[in-house]
A and B are shown apart, each in its own frame.
Chain A
Amino acid sequence: MSDSTRVADRPERLTIETSEGAQELTTRRDTATDELGREVGAVLRLDGVTLDPRQVDYERHDDETMIINMGPAHPSTHGVLRLMLELDGEFVLRTKSVIGYLHTGMEKTGETLSYVQGGTNVTRMDYLSPVINELSYSMTVEKLLGIEVPERAVWIRMMMSELNRVSSHLVWMATNGMDLGSTSMMIYGLRERELILAFFEKTAGLRLNLNYVRPGGVAADLPDGWQDDIEVICNTIEERSYEYDQLLTGQPIFRNRLVGVAPITAEEALALGLTGPLLRSTGVPWDLRRSMPYLAYDQVDFDVIVGTYGDNFDRYAIRLNEIRESLRIVRQCVEKMPPGDYRSQDPKVTPPPRQRIGESMEALIHHFKLFTEGFHVPAGEVYSAVESPRGEIGCYMVSDGGPKPYRIHVRAPSFINLQAVPLLMRGGSMSDTITVISTVDPVMGEVDR
């Protein structure tokens, strides 16, 4: 009987079906007092750092405020991020992000894939910086294996990850421009990114999820004439980055929406575990490329860009300038690119070249073993981190000695950085929520994994 009633006749059923229960922001009436204090004190669940008791207005009633949903299908939430906002008129009192709409169990999937296949899985997490995901994964596997990567592979990896950083920041410039109403910037950003994606396609065969960096080296050597391509990319993007300056940096509407909006202090950023441009905007010069160098970052010359106020504008300026710094590194990679192998010659890790399979029994066996079972990795556990465009991306891996990782955990920078959103939004106006989400730059594929 109840099944035959129309959906519109049983609204309570609809409510239950779409609810995320305790994951959602609750009304003041239903929230415990200390929990409310924490949330109202700015800092959804950040206690002890900035909670000012004078800001906690327990007396406010639910009638005066309104809880609204933003997302999960809102165009400016950069994917399927759902924010629940408690508003007092135009101003945000409390915020809570509800995530998980893109969760596909990639860490569980990673346990069923061999080390050779694993790269195709991690490259889909942060889909704007696939190379850097693969890099953190590959470096973790190599650390467990204890193998050395040839010099040329190191430099190719470095060059590709810097190009990837540029393309990721260009997408950020584009979407940030669009969020603030500058549709020209959106078209320009995606146009410039296309240059880099075309080079990725020429090198790796794919534009987005490359699976290019693999344990032991990279998948393919750089294509013929790559120096010329890089030269064109660097010159074009550098020249145009100054056009962005003209278009945005000094523009009064753009500045009004960014300067002084949503500041964060260094103590808060450290307490929340923020990394990347968010942390550097507060003046903390922490960049893993400089602080704990990996690959060959200690052999190239670049500046770590830091901000002063930790506001939206600082985060914008850091990303714009990081594009230029990355191009500087790419240019040095072209100059210093050493000759040699692009992948390790260890036959247990690297498949043999095609013609060797026809000649050598051993090569055939190695090829067969690699692509059926995969290589075995000594038992142990390791954490290694690299700097992604969004912060520290780390990979924690446990091996039981078999051909598949026993446990693979990715420390996703967006996931951690998202905790800053309630703090940044507190007290701001509703329209600033768009800029806050934009400058925090979460990639939902990585948040939900």
Chain B
Amino acid sequence: MIPLPPLAPPGVLTAEALACDVACFPTPDQYVDLVAAFRADGFEMCVDVCGVDYLDHFERFVPEGVVPTRFEVVVNLLSLSKKQRVRIRVQAGTESPRVDSLFHLYPGTEAPEREAFDLFGILFDGHPDLTRILMPEDWEGHPLRKDYGVGHVPIQFKEAPGPR
């Protein structure tokens, strides 16, 4: 268990509760300050930023005091000196998800944040170039959202023409 930075987020779940590393649940206001505190605490690298759409799984397990919203931004930080990981899950909102960008703390979050914007439509305030990255520029919608359908090619098993 790592000593948490002075700024206490409303909920902290430990490894036992989540079958994983420590996860913190800051509010959007506390989010950047918390990441900055972790960075000052020796977490040199931001490994990953990704979004999750909890539309169909709204009743997930979150600590008390945290209001779950549809979209969540998950940040994985890594400390090379302490050999530890920490995960930060921030509730990004339901209708128009929006959080602050971590770009000024970790420049390496540029591409992952663009990806989260592209695939989920989560806006990152302060990001230098929030454009689509994987999808074409004129694409409509954000494909990894749960209300975005999965395309498929119909396969016909019967009444298909026989070999002769």
Show the binding face of A for B, using Cβ within 8 Å: 19-23, 35, 38, 43, 45-49, 99-100, 103, 105, 107-109, 112, 143-144, 146, 270-274, 284, 286, 291-292, 379-383, 385, 392, 394, 396, 398, 400, 406-407, 409, 411, 415-416, 418-419, 448-449
Q: Which residues of B contact A273 (CB under 8 A)?
A: 45-47, 106, 108-109
Residues A396 and B108 in contact, CB atoms below 8 Å apart = no
Residues A100 and B52 in contact, CB atoms below 8 Å apart = no
Q: Which residues of A contact B48 (CB under 8 A)?
A: 383, 394, 396, 409, 411
User: Looking across the interface, which residue of chain A has its beta carbon closest to that of B46?
Assistant: A273
Q: Which residues of A contact B111 (CB under 8 A)?
A: 415-416, 418-419
Question: How many pairs of A and B residues are in contact by the CB < 8 Å rule?
Answer: 129
Q: Which residues of B contact A146 (CB under 8 A)?
A: 19
Provide the bound-state CA to CA distance between A38 and B112, in Å: 19
Partner of B76, one of A45, A107, A383: A383
Given A107-B144, A274-B108, the answer on whether A383 and B133 have CB atoms closer than 8 Å is: no
Provide the bound-state CA to CA distance between A394 and B87, in Å: 13
Provide the bound-state CA to CA distance between A351 and B61, in Å: 31
Given A291-B80, A419-B108, the answer on whether A392 and B133 have CB atoms closer than 8 Å is: no
Given A21-B137, A108-B143, the answer on whether A380 and B107 have CB atoms closer than 8 Å is: no
| B interface bracket (residues with beta carbon within 8 Å of A) | 35 or more
**CB-CB nearest 5 A-B residue pairs:** A273-B108, A21-B137, A400-B57, A272-B108, A100-B134
Q: Which residues of B contact A286 (CB under 8 A)?
A: 80
Q: Which residues of A contact B76 (CB under 8 A)?
A: 383, 394, 396, 411
B20 CB-CB contact with A under 8 Å? yes
User: Looking across the interface, which residue of chain A has its beta carbon closest to that of B110?
Assistant: A45
Residues B131 and A380 in contact, CB atoms below 8 Å apart = no
Residues B104 and A21 in contact, CB atoms below 8 Å apart = no
Partner of A416, one of B18, B112, B143: B112
Interface residues of B in 47-95 (CB under 8 A from A): 47-48, 50, 52-53, 56-57, 60-61, 74, 76, 80, 83, 85, 87
Show the binding face of B for A, using Cβ within 8 Å: 18-21, 44-48, 50, 52-53, 56-57, 60-61, 74, 76, 80, 83, 85, 87, 103-104, 106-112, 115, 119, 128-129, 131-138, 143-144, 150
Provide the bound-state CA to CA distance between A409 and B119, in Å: 12
Q: Which residues of B contact A271 (CB under 8 A)?
A: 106-108
Residues A383 and B131 in contact, CB atoms below 8 Å apart = no
Residues A406 and B56 in contact, CB atoms below 8 Å apart = yes
Residues A22 and B87 in contact, CB atoms below 8 Å apart = no
Provide the bound-state CA to CA distance between A381 and B112, in Å: 19
